[in-house]
Amino acid sequence: MLVQQRAGTPLPSWKAVTGDALFTRESGAVAAQFHDPPAIEPYSSELVGADRGIVLGKKSGIDSIAIAAERLGLDVPEERRAELLAAVKKLGTEKRGLVTDAEFGKLAGNG
């Protein structure tokens, strides 16, 4: 991020205000409003040179599936999203971590 570059000091990703993960979302409720950044973010990600993104895991929602599929160029019909969401939540819970893009592609049948 811009703050880390200018300061010349790496910061933990979870660090408030300047951490890399500040604009990364797993929550399905937040993903539902991903199209409206001011509704879910304290300030613009561009202000601090950060990237906005959605990650997948046990807290994901239907909108998370749609956003991730679009970002990865995967064809996931709307009628398959609930089934895919259940598989993502199950995998995230089992591995106690986030579902990678490669894992998501396999679950979606594109990997």
Q: Which residues of the chain have pLDDT under 70?
A: 1-4, 13-20, 29-30, 32, 111
Domain boundaries, position 23: 1-111
Residue 97 forms beta bridges with which residues? none
> Residues 77, 48: contact at Cβ < 8 Å?
no
pLDDT, position 83: 96
Number of domains in the chain: 1
CA dist., res. 65 & res. 47, Å (int)? 27
pTM here?
0.76
pLDDT, position 53: 84
pLDDT, position 50: 78
Residue 18's SS3 state is coil
pLDDT, position 20: 67
